[in-house]
Structure 1
Amino acid sequence: MKFKLDYKDVDLAFDNAYCIGYSGRNIEKTKEHIAELKELGVSEPTSVPEIYHLDPYLFRQDKSISIIGDKSSGEAEIVLIFDGDQRYVTIGSDHTDRELETVSIHKSKQLCAKPIAEKVWGFEQVENNWDDLELKSYIYANGQWELYQEDTVSNILPYDDLIASLEEFGAQLNNAVVYCGTVPLVDGFKYPNAFKAQLIDPINNNTIDLEYEVNKL
């Protein structure tokens, strides 16, 4: 898979892929979120955070994805890519089937493609201002883009804690992609036909964009 790094292309291959769920830094808010999901029929996680091992083929740079059903939605996530000793940062969408999520979170994540941006930053470019990075997402509804998520990465577990959780899980990170978690929704789940997201570095005045359409089969 080709990515843009500064002014050059880099080829990155994934042997393993992981999504980290329930990775909020504020444990009490995470517990509240778990309780809210439980009321919707979603089972409690077996651990916090919880790691889902997925097939790398799900992770794509397509401009559209196809889904089954009417209740799926994206989530803006900060993404780590490991390529040997090199680490990269970008943005992706953990697009998930919300109906299947009430049966099995792991299966619901495996069902949908996981869009990923075409641009990356070297990890060292944002290592010192990790918590200042911002995640935003929008849904296309009623003929316009509406804000869906907006918060900083400081509301997600610190980088070292994310890595520790992956290592405890036994994740193979030599050539891997990791979706590290998302930020709260502005106004509950929506099921749009188009989704876009941004990872913003306000310190270095840089942004990575992601946008895709959702086609219902």
Structure 2
Amino acid sequence: MEIFYPDLTAVREVIVAGWAGRDAADVQHHIDELAALGVAPPSDVPLFYRVGHETLSTAPVIDVLGSQTSGEVEPVLLRTQSDLLVGVGSDHTDRESEAYSVALSKQVCPKVSGRAFWRFADVADRWDEMVLRSFTAERTPYQEGVAASLLNPLDLVARWEQREGRVFGPGSLMFCGTVPTLNGIVRTESLTVELSDPRTGSVLSHQYAIRELPVVA
């Protein structure tokens, strides 16, 4: 399968789709779980968070403030001048600020993307079979699930376009939701994220390390 390496410095809009599960009952269960921890429920489902395009990073190391952050594997959808591409990334999030503002928690950490992408049309017919995985340091399994558990990226784009009243145009990039952790959210020194195609054995992968900056007053 052909691999593309688009110019991600051309991205001018970054959108993070939250609460993007396909099963409404599962989404509501997750909302209720977070509400019990003090996280306010979303105003809409799915909910689209805008973050600064300068937060997008393909670097092998990202800097975060303090120890209360973690990443999560997500499909990454990118509209270029000529194509719709899909890759893999991590919606790295500040968990401490998430308790009082999910939008803020999305903005304060880099949004990580791999450099390699596939043409979405090349995998669209088997998208639901795609597998999302992530691994913490020493390749300990952290997340695993199939794309069928999430809203289809084209569905997400259509919903975003309807709410925004404009098209998902060239230079737009969307993080398309994540799958559950295997044993709860944990802090890690590095994270590897993967999007794999079981039919062909093709895998898109990206690894990054997390450097924690001291919290000073």
- The interval holding the TM-score normalised by the smaller chain is over 0.9
Shift, 1:54, TM fit: 1.0
1:195 and 2:191 correspond? yes
RMSD: 1.4
1:55 and 2:49 correspond? no
**Which of the residues 73, 83, 87 maps onto 1:86?**
83
Shift, 1:85, TM fit: 4.3
TM-score (structure 1 length as normaliser): 0.92
1:182 and 2:182 correspond? no
Which deviates the most, 118-127 or 8-17?
8-17
Q: Show structure 1 runs of 5+ residues with no match.
A: none
Percent of pairs identical after alignment?
32
Which residue matches 2:204? 208
Shift, 1:165, TM fit: 1.6
TM-score (structure 2 length as normaliser): 0.92
1:166 and 2:160 correspond? yes
Which residue matches 1:151? 145
Which residue matches 2:7? 11
**Which of the residues 56, 59, 72 maps onto 1:75?**
72
1:52 match: secondary structure: strand
Q: Distance in 2 between matches of 1:104 and 1:151?
A: 27
For residues 81-113 of structure 1, the C-alpha deviation after alignment (integer angstroms, 9 at most, x for no partner) is 001341000001000000000111001000000
Higher percent of residues as strand? 1
Q: Distance in 1 between matches of 2:81 and 2:101?
A: 32
Which runs of at least 4 in structure 1 moved beyond 3 Å after TM superposition? none
Q: Distance in 1 between matches of 2:96 and 2:14?
A: 23
1:89 match: secondary structure: strand
Which residue matches 1:25? 22
Q: Distance in 1 between matches of 2:6 and 2:18?
A: 28
Q: Show structure 2 runs of 5+ residues with no match.
A: none
Which residue matches 2:35? 38
**Which of the residues 59, 62, 65 maps onto 2:62?**
65
Which deviates the most, 169-178 or 123-132?
169-178
